[in-house]
Amino acid sequence: MAKSLFLAAPLILQALPGAFAWGTLGHDTVAYIAQNFVTSATKTFCQNILADTSTSYLANVATWADTYRYTSEGSFSAPYHFIDAEDDPPSSCNVDYNRDCGSGGCVVSAIQNYTSRVVDTSLSTTEVQKALKWIVHFIGDIHQPLHDEALDIGGNTIDVTFDGTSTNLHHIWDTNMPEKLVGGYTLTDAKTWAKTLTTSIKTGAYSSQKSSWLSGINIDDPITTAMGWATDSNAYVCSTVLPDGVSAVSGQELDGSYYTTAVPVIELQIAKAGYRLAAWLNLIATGSTGLKVASKPRGAPMIEAVKVMPRDFEAEMSPAKLARMAYGHKC
Which residues here bind Zn ion, judged by CB under 5 A? 21, 66, 81, 141
* Known active-site residue 170: yes
- Closer CB to Zn ion, residue 81 or residue 321? 81
Q: How far apart are CA 290 and CA 281, in angstroms?
A: 10
Q: What is the 3-state secondary structure (H, E, C) of 213-231?
A: HCCCCCCCCHHHHHHHHHH
Question: Is 258 within 8 Å of 252 (Cβ atoms)?
Answer: yes
* Active-site residue, from 147, 171, 276, 329: 147
Q: In the bound complex, what is the minimum distance in angstroms from residue 22's beta carbon to Zn ion?
A: 7
b/e sequence 257-282, b meaning 16+ C-beta within 10 Å = ebbeebeebbbbbbbbbbbbbbbbbb
Given the residues 27, 171, 276, 329, select the one marked as catalytic.
Answer: 27
Closest CA to 227 of 321, 328, 101: 101
Query: In the complex, which residue's CB is closest to Zn ion?
Result: 21
Nearest approach in angstroms of CB 257 to Zn ion is 28
Catalytic status, residue 137: yes
Closest alpha carbon to 95 in 300, 246, 218, 238? 238
Tell me how far, at minimum, the Cβ of 27 lies from Zn ion, in Å. 8
Q: C-beta of 144: minimal distance to Zn ion in Å?
A: 8
28, 100, 134, 137: the catalytic one is: 137
Q: How far apart are CA 105 and CA 223, in angstroms?
A: 12
Task: Kindly tell me which of 87 and 141 has the beta carbon lying closer to Zn ion.
Answer: 141
Which member of 87, 100, 174, 189 is catalytic? 174
Nearer to Zn ion, 63 or 231 (CB): 63
Identify the three-state secondary structure at position 257: helix
Q: For residues 271 and 331, which CB has a smaller minimum distance to Zn ion in the complex?
A: 331
Residue 147: active-site member: yes
Q: For residues 194 and 62, is the Cβ–Cβ distance under 8 A?
A: no
Q: Residue 158 and residue 213: Cα distance in Å, rounded?
A: 31
Kindly name the residue from 28, 66, 87, 100 that is annotated as catalytic. 66
**Shortest Å distance, C-beta 208 to Zn ion:** 30
Catalytic residue flag (residue 174):
yes
User: Is the preceding omega at residue 90 within 30 degrees of 0, hence cis?
Assistant: yes
Q: Minimum CB separation from Zn ion for residue 67, in Å?
A: 10
Give the separation between CA 177 and CA 154, rounded to whole angstroms.
Answer: 16
Catalytic annotation, pick one of 28, 81, 152, 276: 81
Choose between 176 and 289: whose C-beta lies nearer to Zn ion.
176
Type of residue at 27: H
CB 199 within 8 Å of CB 62: no
- Any catalytic annotation for residue 28? no
Distance CA 328, CA 156 (A): 11
CA distance 235 to 308: 22
Q: Considering beta carbons, is residue 30 or 197 the nearer one to Zn ion? A: 30
Per the annotation, the verdict on 22 as an active-site residue is yes
27 catalytic per annotation: yes
State in angstroms the smallest separation of the CB of 285 from Zn ion.
23
Catalytic sites, residue numbers: 22, 27, 66, 69, 81, 137, 141, 147, 170, 174
